[in-house]
Chains A and B, each alone.
Chain A
Amino acid sequence: MIAEIGLFALLLALLFAFMLVIVPTLGIIFNKEDWRIG
């Protein structure tokens, strides 16, 4: 069970890493650089 929690946490970390990259990149593309990372 613990190992599965670990893997799930890693997948969630991957999801957040994608969000960290995609959302601000879209912000830069559409020239809205004034938003902030939470």
Chain B
Amino acid sequence: MQFFFVALAYLALTVCFLTDDFTVSYVLMNSSKSLPLFYKICAVWGGHEGSMLLWVFILTLWMFAVNLFSKNLFFPLKIRVLIVLGLLSIGFILFIIITSNPYSRQFEILQTVGRDLNPLLQDPGFLFHPPMLYMGYVGFSVAFSFAIAALWLGRVESSWAKWTRPWTLAAWCFLTAGITLGSWWAYRELGWGGWWFWDPVENASFMPWIVGTALIHSLAVAEKREQFIAWTLLLAITAFSLSLVGTFLVRSGVLTSVHAFAVDPERGLYILIFLLVVIGGSLGLFALRAKSVVRVKNLNLISREAALLLNNVFLMVIMLTILMGTVYPLIIDGLGLGKLSVGAPYFNAVFIPLMIPLLILMGFGVQLNWQRDGFKRLYSVLGLVGLLSLFIPALLEIIITKSFNLNVYLGLVLAFWVLLSTLKTLLIRLKISGFMGISLAYLGMVIAHLGLSLTVIGITLSSGYGIESDVKMSPGEHIFFAGFDIRFVSESSLTGANYHGNRAHFMISSNGYEKSIFPEKRIYNVGNIPMTESAIDVSLFRDIYVALGEPINDDSWSVRFYYKPFVRFIWGGGFFIFFGGFLALVDSRYYLKGRKKNKLTFKAKI
């Protein structure tokens, strides 16, 4: 019933947008009569109030799903999970009603046009990125609720991990897709060829993803070996807490960023109190009850469990360094020591050195057996893989680029190490059990790890061999750029549904290849906001990116060109990671026989 009413509330706001009801303040501020229908539907989450309503809608959707798919779950656990989710939904619905009512009306401004949706958001990416991200953020509330319910009951079995894992995987998949789509959208829309900015709000989504990644790995150990249970509970609490912190950072207005369309300190106070209650309460409960769920088992240093533990440690350190960089400006500001910003140089300096041991560990981790393994076996399996990982990148780099860049080489070595080691483990498994003997969860792990190596290849090559150039050009002129002849063919005026501006025609050619692209400079009618719509010649192995700058005089423009080799691998890898998670999610072990058995084991231990 709660889901039905929230859905109705959400539908009502959508209808307000579709009917251009500008007496509703939120519609007035985020829509306009000339806004295309597609964006009117998306504009519901284009501002603070509506996106919080979307948050609550998704939360009730998860609650509905938990109620629906947990029929066989041990009832006292299920009821506690729903109580915790219910408490969270009360917090957020009260937040909307008290501080962020999207339905409030105004009659002072008799406007029939509307203030329009932020032009940055008027992109097809806006349909998918926020809902996907919220599905991930809010989805971690289910893992959180399972953790709190287990602590409340004071008992955690391996079946608890088996029940929590699919929910965590689902949330993690959505978050992966949301972050990947956001990165792709930023690349297309922001007009300067970057795909990740270490923007505080991006970090706010990346931190729960990192902890979520640690969580799905430690859940595997908790499920298979009944180890790290207290640690897994803490990770589940941390992942959702970071989602809440992310919301606090975006919604409170303490941070300004490219996402700064939502700024309000009063709302921030409510979220801060809510945050303290939820995080403080859950950590307090953890402190009280964790002792009762701890299992002490011997851990062999050369085993998959130990590798996963080390992986968790690295992931948590990475998360903490990102958290430090994100909140450091706030702390300095709060102490009255001035204003500063922490940007890409800090994050790259701390993130990359921490990723190196993590990627090395990944190559070993996928090969290790549970419980006990040995150096001898590892050496026999990974010796050749290690040699090839050193040799292939050097060969490829020298043959393809006819040059040698040490940083690129090291990045490629790590990517190939993960790639080849993962393929090797798949080959070994195929030899032992045949194709039919491989579970979807295992295949998902392989695909996700391959995806990460593809992303590393994309990041390494696009940043190592990317070229950019700013030039002044007039129609009729051409330049040679990255081996391509790029001609500025013409420029014409442009009129869209809610904007006007200029549209340029560029012709890219090389060895018989020809492609026309059309970058635009738009001025949105409401507020006269200028926007650069870049044009990209896309191919699997390289992008040529053209962004129209400012007009310099009557017929010439400043134009920015980027050559981005292998940049598509970054998002392609992201899709592989998502798809790997999805395959693990649909593994029937979680839904059929295992579940019925779990119910019995749980009950037998009451």
Contact = CB atoms under 8 A, between A and B. Distances in A.
A37 to B, nearest CB: 7
Contact of B79 (A3, A14, A28): A28
Given A13-B6, A13-B60, A21-B87, A6 B97 contact: no
B523 to A, nearest CB: 32
A5 B80 CA distance: 31
A18 B53 CA distance: 18
Of listed A10, A33, A38, residue having the most chain B CB within 10 A: A10
B456 to A, nearest CB: 44
A16 B16 CA distance: 24
Of listed B12, B82, B89, residue having the most chain A CB within 10 A: B12
Contact of A17 (B16, B89, B103): B89
Interface string A1-19: 0111111011111101110
B132 to A, nearest CB: 23
Contacts of B99: none
Interface in B15-37: 15-16, 19, 21, 24
Interface of B is mostly: helix
B16 A21 contact: no
A23 B79 CA distance: 10
A13 B93 CA distance: 8
B86 A21 contact: yes
B105 interface: yes
A7 B101 contact: yes
B324 interface: no
Interface string B474-498: 0000000000000000000000000
B86 A9 contact: no
A5 to B, nearest CB: 5
Given A11-B97, A33-B76, A6 B8 contact: yes
Nearest to A5: B12
Contacts of B16: 2-3, 6
B105 A3 contact: yes
A10 B82 contact: no
Interface residues of A, number: 25
Interface string B339-379: 00000000000000000000000000000000000000000
Contacts of B75: 33-34
Nearest to B59: A17
B67 interface: yes
Interface in B54-101: 56, 60, 67, 75-76, 79-80, 82-83, 86-87, 89-90, 93-94, 96-97, 101
A10 B9 contact: yes
Contacts of A38: 1
B83 A6 contact: no
Nearest to B152: A28
B13 interface: yes
Given A10-B5, A10-B9, A13-B60, A33 B79 contact: yes
Contact of B2 (A4, A13, A33): A13
A9 B90 contact: no
A34 to B, nearest CB: 7
Of listed A13, A18, A33, A38, residue having the most chain B CB within 10 A: A13
Contacts of B87: 21
Contacts of A37: 67, 79, 82
Nearest to A21: B86
B86 A17 contact: yes
Contact of B97 (A2, A14, A21): A14
B12 A9 contact: yes
Q: Report the interface size class on chain B.
A: 35 or more
A13 to B, nearest CB: 4
Nearest to A8: B9
A3 B16 CA distance: 7
B9 A13 contact: yes
A37 B16 CA distance: 33
Contacts of B53: 10
A33 B76 CA distance: 7
Contact of A25 (B1, B21, B83): B83
B93 A10 contact: yes
A20 B86 contact: yes
Contacts of B11: 6
Given A9-B5, A9-B12, A13-B9, A20 B19 contact: no
Nearest to A13: B5
Contacts of A16: 1-2, 5
Contacts of B105: 3
Contacts of A14: 90, 93-94, 97
B316 to A, nearest CB: 32
A2 B15 contact: yes
Contacts of B1: 16, 38
Contacts of A24: 79, 82-83
Of listed A16, A17, A18, A38, residue having the most chain B CB within 10 A: A17
Nearest to B90: A17
A21 B93 CA distance: 14
Interface in B257-295: none
B2 to A, nearest CB: 4
Contacts of A25: 83
A6 B101 CA distance: 10
B1 to A, nearest CB: 5
Given A2-B16, A7-B101, 18 more contacts: A5-B12, A6-B13, A6-B103, A9-B9, A10-B97, A13-B89, A14-B93, A16-B5, A17-B86, A18-B86, A18-B90, A21-B87, A24-B82, A24-B83, A25-B83, A28-B79, A34-B75, A37-B79
12 contacts: A3-B16, A3-B105, A6-B16, A7-B9, A7-B101, A9-B8, A9-B12, A13-B5, A17-B90, A21-B90, A24-B83, A38-B1
